Amino acid sequence: MPYTKIMIHAVWGTKNRTPFLTPDIRRKIIHHIKENAASKGIYIDRINGHTEHLHCLFSLNADMSISKAMQLIKGESAFWLNKQNLIPAKFEWADEYFASSVSESVLNRVRAYIDRQEEHHRKVHFADEFQEFLRIHMASS
């Protein structure tokens, strides 16, 4: 059996950046995502977000790609949220997402960053944050 430990930091938002993820909705969808991910062999180390996006630090089982994990997390959670009728409109995640591997040496920094999303987004808008992730991480590609 293969053993892998590759940590991924993923960020994705609601379609059109609609602020559907109120604290109560966010808490419920995060709980559901954690349960569903575990059943699919995706280990979630941290997950948190703000009104229009989520950050997730996770590792994959050896036979799963990042795109498959994101499909399982995003697609299933949107389906679940709509089925629960927790919001007045149809819920959708945006198609795009950001994902990057995380070195063991910075795991605690990434964990703390994810844990502090409410505080962080009092100063920085998600659109600016997302563009900065792309600028920093895609420049080296």
Dist CA 117 CA 85 (whole Å)? 26
- Can you tell me the distance from the alpha carbon of 6 to that of 64, in angstroms, rounded to the nearest whole number? 11
What domains appear along the chain, each with residue ranges and CATH number? Answer: 7-138 (3.30.70.1290)
Contact 21, 52 (CB under 8 A): yes
pLDDT at 5 (0 to 100): 82
43 contact partners, CB below 8 Å, separation of at least 6: 37, 58, 59, 60
Do residues 19 and 52 touch, judged by C-beta distance below 8 A? Answer: yes
Distance CA 114, CA 57 (A): 8
pLDDT interval class at 136 (50, 70, 90) = low
Helices (H) and strands (E) in the chain, counts: 6, 4
Q: What is the mean pLDDT of residues 62-77?
A: 93
The Cα 3–Cα 107 span in angstroms is 19
Mean pLDDT, range 124-133, rounded to an integer: 64
pLDDT band at 60 (very low <50, low <70, confident <90, very high): confident
pLDDT band of residue 130 (cuts 50, 70, 90) is low
* Structure token digits, residue 64: 């799963």
**Over 70: is that where the pLDDT of 128 sits?**
no
Mean pLDDT confidence for 81-110 = 93
Averaged pLDDT of the chain: 88
4-22 mean pLDDT:
93
- Please give the pLDDT value at position 118: 78
Closest by alpha carbon to 9, among 51, 52, 40, 45? 45
pLDDT value at residue 137: 64
pLDDT at 66: 94
Higher pLDDT, 99 or 2: 99
